[in-house]
């Protein structure tokens, strides 16, 4: 009974289990996405035999099984909400097999909390009592496995994983056989009252009439679509042949049908699925030779799956359409997603039209709304094609509300009317916070009286109301009203041209960023940045959040910080802000309130030019196609605004209300893409490109990269290919504004997503997930995707960091495609 004792895991053991669990889940998630998005939830009857149906769930076993573990499939739906169903099926507190077996938690790596009740990781021992034991035909089984549960980054989803692991110190219970299993389940809320269930896995056929003996080793199926564990020890001896129980057994139907119903105890059937007979794992780690866990990472093979869709057969690795497609553009589109565009079908259409980065505005979004939008984006098909989940390289931009000054509430919550020529007192006395009148109301900025001087301007409600300060008292100022207008509750207050003392992050911003880091956002749009220290403060807080949520992943990539410059102080300190930031957003809305309107043009040009010079991405935002909130066509001025931003060298242009709450979100994205493409064509002409003034190369890497870009431009190459692990080389390429698209091969999904913000870069996480492709493989991949044809010329750049002392190696080559 030593197995009942707690299992002691070293920190290294726990880290290895976390890493391997994540990779297993990712591999299974690919299968899940293909099953639903590509195969339309259809089960191949030539591969699977149905053995049981109950309510809306069907259980299958794989046909033509010769030896090894039984592969099982069960799909369907159950009634209830996701929370209720997951509580009944997987309860991460060690009770999920009640009624069918006994289980005990041997070691807890990550414990569920009230905030995340389904997020857990543990090592579990399960005892399973089987039929025919009393007849001496079989022995009872026990299983020691790592168990992971949690929510999933797809619409209202969850997962549950059980995967056998051998621990030398965890001996099998006398009288029992140590079994093997690998079961991964996914759940998704399909409607208010139904949850789809999908489980993928295999398990010992515990009901087969067998002689006592060790379980057979797993045999690798002859397929190229299966990730596997590397074998760490010689195969075991073959098990004696099994004798199957007849379907006419007095104990009922084929016992394997019951096997398919045991995988998630307390609820039947469970759900196990496998795509076209390819098991998710073709080998388990064998018994370790020491007390440590001997696990290795999954070695993902090249996926050569073919997917069928309405337009015919396309490769599973296709990410984009042909670069000559009408959907192709060099400058990227950032679109704000809101109530009118957050649902799956609408978001899919927006991505098809060219959305590359989704902005979530935390000035308005609640966490459940933000999660829906993030999950839906990550569940969309591939960029401009039907790529699988791992090729979904659209990014998420988390826009903070930022520190701000606001009015209080008006008396009885009603609007008040401010009459031109009248006087009004703005006070910081909390006694007036909830009872403002036309004569006196509350303002949240406690240093108001110390900041505003007689003659200064105060703007209310996004600049709609203008006040002029006439006197300053203790904790209050008196102003003359310059125009007649109504004002409601908690409206914004601007102090144009004045330096205010506000923290870089409000308490709400900190809560929001903690949520964002937990959900693996790619970018942070930091609002109202005034100086470099604001950026440093935000970066420090983000680092704390990473330690909190991602300490198990030491190589976790932090979100990039995009500073929003939207006040005069930010303009005055722009150079230090630019140096401290990963990118800049020219937020013209609040900037136009803080500075004279005619100055917005000057400051926009300055910000874009400076970002271009040093190679940092810049987004131009606010009211770019404002009229399309209510009209299906833009004004001519809006078309020119978008086009000129592209010609200036903006990496991205952004939609706000047009795509978040307007009547024509799809038309807005489509129109913007069309205008971008037209401006991109102009940038091929030398008179437009001559304006770009790049800072001199700061390193040998930049010198080599600038030469490669010049070569590609002058030789009229069809494509540039960059092989990059961290994205460093690709970002340097983007600095020099190549005239041809740049396909960036990387092995890291987040690196790929973060490259989306750069003009002309098209990240690819190829089939070679465990390594970077060779030059020949990359060219073949690009040709397969339709980006290259025979006779095309391509410039290839690869960058590697040799060591801290030796620096980086940059290799450039030119190839003619055969």
DSSP string, 320-362: S--TTSTT--SSEEEEE--TTT-SHHHHHHHHHHTEEEEEEET
Give 283 or 439, the one with higher predicted confidence: 439
CA–CA dist 124, 109 (Å, integer): 11
pLDDT at 802: 60
Residue pLDDT, tens place only, 486-530: 999 999 999 998 999 999 999 999 999 999 999 999 999 999 999
Burial class (CB in 10 A: 0-12, 13-18, 19+), 790: exposed
Catalytic choice (256, 327, 359, 735): 359
**For residue 48, pLDDT beyond 80:** yes
Q: Is 406 a catalytic residue?
A: yes
CB 357 within 8 A of CB 756: yes
pLDDT at 18: 83
Mind listing the domains of the chain with CATH numbers? 10-301 (3.30.530.20), 332-401+503-689 (3.20.20.60), 411-493 (2.40.33.10), 700-816 (3.40.1380.20)
Work out the pLDDT band at 61, boundaries 50, 70, 90.
confident
Q: Is 564 a catalytic residue?
A: yes
Question: Where are the extended beta strands (E) located within 750-791?
Answer: 761-764
**For residue 317, pLDDT beyond 50:** no
pLDDT at 111: 82
pLDDT at 803: 58
Work out the pLDDT band at 89, boundaries 50, 70, 90.
low
* Long-range contacts at 78-83 (CB < 8 A, ≥ 24 apart): 78/194, 78/195, 78/197, 78/267, 79/193, 79/194, 79/195, 80/193, 80/194, 80/195, 81/189, 81/192, 81/193, 81/195, 82/156, 82/157, 82/158, 82/187, 82/188, 82/189, 82/195, 83/117
pLDDT at 12: 79
Beta bridge partners of 523: 397, 560
pLDDT at 695: 76
**For residue 544, pLDDT beyond 90:** yes
> Which residues, 6+ apart, have CB-to-CB distance to 438 below 8 Å?
416, 417, 418, 419, 422, 424
CB 60 within 8 A of CB 72: yes
Please name the residue that has the structure tokens 């004279």. Answer: 596
**For residue 87, pLDDT beyond 90:** no
CB 185 within 8 A of CB 89: yes
**For residue 813, pLDDT beyond 70:** yes
Give 462 or 677, the one with higher predicted confidence: 677
Report which of 613, 611, 637, 610 is spatially closest to residue 623, judged by C-alpha positions: 637
CA–CA dist 240, 81 (Å, integer): 46
Residue pLDDT, tens place only, 388-433: 444 468 999 999 999 999 999 999 999 999 999 999 999 999 999 9
pLDDT at 585: 98
CA–CA dist 761, 672 (Å, integer): 18
**For residue 340, pLDDT beyond 90:** yes
Query: Phi and psi for 145 in degrees, rounded to 5?
Result: -145, 160
The alpha-carbon radius of gyration of the chain (Å, integer) is 30
**For residue 86, pLDDT beyond 50:** yes
Q: What is the mean pLDDT of residues 246-265?
A: 34
> Which residues, 6+ apart, have CB-to-CB distance to 359 below 8 Å?
334, 335, 336, 337, 397, 399, 525, 654, 656
Tokens read off for 443:
């303002």
Residue pLDDT, tens place only, 5-40: 677 788 878 888 888 888 888 788 878 877 776 667
Percent of the chain with pLDDT over 90: 46
Beta bridge partners of 161: 148, 184
Rounded to 10 deg, the angle between the 665-682 and 636-648 helix axes is 50
Work out the pLDDT band at 226, boundaries 50, 70, 90.
very low
Torsion region of 150: left, alpha or beta (phi above 0 gives left; psi -120 to 50 gives alpha): left
CA–CA dist 528, 168 (Å, integer): 57
Residue pLDDT, tens place only, 140-157: 788 888 888 887 655 568
Sign (positive or negative) of CA dihedral 355, 361, 364, 369: positive
Using omega within 30 degrees of 0 as the cis cutoff, is the peptide bond preceding 269 cis?
yes
3-state SS, residue 130:
coil
Instruction: Indicate the pTM of the whole model.
Output: 0.63
Rounded to 10 deg, the angle between the 665-682 and 344-353 helix axes is 10
CB 61 within 8 A of CB 70: yes
Report which of 377, 320, 369 is spatially closest to residue 344, judged by C-alpha positions: 377
CA–CA dist 777, 31 (Å, integer): 24
Work out the pLDDT band at 217, boundaries 50, 70, 90.
very low
pLDDT at 778: 87
CA–CA dist 435, 445 (Å, integer): 17
Q: Is 359 a catalytic residue?
A: yes
First-to-final CA distance of the chain: 66
**CB-CB neighbours of 372 under 10 Å:** 19
Distances (CA, A) of 455 to 427, 449, 451, 477, 483: 17, 13, 12, 11, 16
Catalytic choice (226, 622, 724, 747): 622
Distances (CA, A) of 604 to 409, 566, 617, 644: 35, 10, 14, 11
Give 131 or 506, the one with higher predicted confidence: 506
**For residue 619, pLDDT beyond 80:** yes
Give the single-character DSSP code of 134: G
CB 580 within 8 A of CB 620: no
pLDDT at 769: 55
Tokens read off for 587:
């937020």
CA–CA dist 817, 775 (Å, integer): 12
3-state SS, residue 383:
coil
CB 517 within 8 A of CB 542: yes
Burial class (CB in 10 A: 0-12, 13-18, 19+), 461: middle
Give 755 or 17, the one with higher predicted confidence: 755
Percent of the chain with pLDDT over 70: 76
**For residue 199, pLDDT beyond 90:** no
Give the single-character DSSP code of 407: B
**For residue 303, pLDDT beyond 60:** no
CA–CA dist 408, 431 (Å, integer): 10
**For residue 659, pLDDT beyond 50:** yes
Q: What is the mean pLDDT of residues 762-775?
A: 74
CB 226 within 8 A of CB 301: yes
Report strand pairing: 560-565 vs 583-587. parallel
Residue pLDDT, tens place only, 723-753: 988 999 999 999 999 999 999 998 888 999 9
Catalytic choice (275, 530, 564, 732): 564
Q: Is 351 a catalytic residue?
A: no
Give 324 or 245, the one with higher predicted confidence: 324
Catalytic choice (406, 409, 440, 531): 406
Give 265 or 400, the one with higher predicted confidence: 400
Report strand pairing: 355-361 vs 332-336. parallel
Work out the pLDDT band at 666, boundaries 50, 70, 90.
very high
Least confident of 18-22, 38-42, 451-455, 612-616: 38-42
**For residue 249, pLDDT beyond 90:** no
**For residue 483, pLDDT beyond 70:** yes
**Mean pLDDT of the chain, nearest integer:** 79
């Amino acid at each position: 009974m030593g197995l009942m004792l707690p299992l002691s895991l070293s920190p290294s053991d726990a880290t290895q289990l976390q890493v391997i669990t994540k990779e297993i889940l990712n591999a299974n998630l690919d299968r899940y996405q293909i099953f639903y998005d590509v195969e339309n939830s259809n089960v191949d009857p030539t591969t699977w035999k149905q053995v049981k149906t109950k309510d809306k769930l069907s259980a299958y076993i794989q046909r033509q099984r010769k030896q090894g573990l039984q592969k099982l499939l069960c799909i369907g739906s159950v009634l209830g909400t996701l929370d209720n169903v997951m509580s009944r099926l997987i309860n991460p507190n060690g009770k999920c097999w009640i009624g069918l077996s006994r289980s005990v938690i041997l070691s807890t790596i990550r414990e569920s909390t009230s905030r995340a009740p389904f997020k857990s990781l543990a090592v579990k021992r399960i005892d399973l009592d089987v039929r025919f034991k009393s007849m001496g035909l079989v022995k009872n089984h026990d299983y020691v496995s790592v168990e992971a549960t949690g929510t999933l980054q797809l619409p209202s989803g969850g997962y549950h994983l059980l995967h056998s692991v051998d621990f030398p110190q965890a001996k099998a219970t006398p009288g029992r056989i140590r079994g093997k299993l690998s079961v991964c389940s996914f759940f998704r809320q399909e409607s208010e009252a139904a949850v789809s269930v999908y489980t993928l896995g295999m398990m010992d056929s515990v009901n087969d009439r067998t002689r006592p003996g060790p379980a057979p080793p797993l045999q690798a199926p002859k397929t190229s679509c299966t990730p596997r564990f590397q074998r760490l020890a010689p195969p075991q001896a073959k098990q004696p042949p099994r004798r199957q129980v007849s379907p006419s057994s007095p104990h009922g139907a084929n016992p394997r049908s019951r096997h398919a119903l045991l995988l998630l105890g307390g609820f039947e059937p469970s759900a196990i699925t496998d795509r076209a007979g390819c098991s998710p794992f073709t080998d388990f780690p064998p018994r370790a030779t020491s007390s440590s866990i001997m696990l290795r990472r999954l070695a993902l093979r090249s996926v050569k799956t073919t997917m069928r869709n309405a337009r015919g057969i396309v490769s599973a690795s296709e990410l984009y359409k042909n670069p000559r497609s009408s959907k192709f553009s060099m400058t990227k589109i950032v679109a704000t997603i809101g109530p009118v565009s957050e649902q799956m079908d609408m978001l899919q259409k927006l991505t098809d039209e060219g959305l590359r980065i989704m902005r979530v505005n935390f000035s308005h979004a609640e966490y459940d709304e933000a999660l829906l939008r993030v999950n839906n984006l990550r569940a969309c098909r591939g960029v401009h094609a039907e790529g699988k989940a791992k090729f979904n390289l659209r990014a998420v931009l988390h826009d903070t509300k930022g520190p701000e000054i606001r009015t209080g509430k008006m008396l009885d919550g009603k609007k008040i009317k401010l009459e031109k020529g009248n006087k009004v007192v703005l006070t910081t006395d909390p006694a007036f916070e909830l009872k403002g009148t036309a004569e006196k109301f509350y303002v949240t900025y406690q240093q108001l009286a110390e900041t505003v001087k007689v003659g200064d301007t105060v703007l209310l409600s996004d600049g709609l109301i203008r006040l002029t300060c006439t006197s300053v008292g203790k904790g209050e100022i008196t102003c003359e009203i310059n125009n007649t207008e109504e004002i409601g509750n908690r409206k914004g207050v601007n102090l144009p041209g004045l330096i205010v003392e506000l923290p870089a992050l409000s308490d709400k911003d900190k809560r929001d960023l903690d949520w964002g880091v937990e959900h693996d956002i790619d970018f942070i749009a930091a609002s109202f940045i005034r100086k470099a220290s604001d950026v440093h403060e935000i970066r420090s807080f983000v680092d704390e959040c990473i330690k909190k949520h991602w300490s198990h992943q030491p190589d976790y990539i932090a979100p990039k910080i995009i500073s929003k410059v939207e006040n005069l102080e930010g303009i005055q300190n722009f150079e230090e802000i630019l140096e401290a930031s990963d990118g800049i957003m020219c937020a013209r809305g609040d900037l136009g309130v803080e500075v004279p309107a005619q100055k917005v043009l000057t400051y926009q040009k300055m910000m874009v030019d400076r970002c271009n010079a040093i190679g940092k991405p810049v987004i131009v935002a606010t009211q770019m196609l404002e009229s399309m909130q209510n009209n299906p066509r833009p004004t001519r001025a809006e078309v020119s605004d978008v086009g000129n931003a592209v010609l200036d060298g903006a990496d991205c242009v952004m939609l706000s209300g047009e795509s978040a709450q307007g009547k024509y979100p799809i038309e807005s994205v489509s129109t913007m893409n069309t205008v971008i493409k037209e401006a991109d064509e102009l940038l091929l002409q030398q008179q437009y490109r001559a304006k770009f003034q790049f800072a001199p190369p700061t390193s040998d890497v930049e010198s080599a990269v600038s030469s490669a870009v010049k070569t590609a431009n002058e030789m009229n190459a069809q494509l540039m290919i960059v092989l990059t692990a961290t994205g460093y080389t690709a970002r340097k390429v983007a600095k020099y504004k190549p005239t041809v698209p740049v396909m960036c091969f990387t092995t890291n999904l987040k690196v790929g997503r973060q490259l989306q913000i750069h003009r002309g870069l098209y990240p690819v996480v190829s089939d070679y997930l465990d390594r970077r492709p060779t030059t020949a493989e990359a060219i073949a991949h690009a040709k397969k995707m339709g980006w290259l044809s025979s006779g095309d010329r391509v410039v290839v750049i690869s960058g590697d960091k040799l060591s801290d002392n030796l620096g980086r190696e940059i290799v450039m080559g030119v190839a003619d495609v055969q």
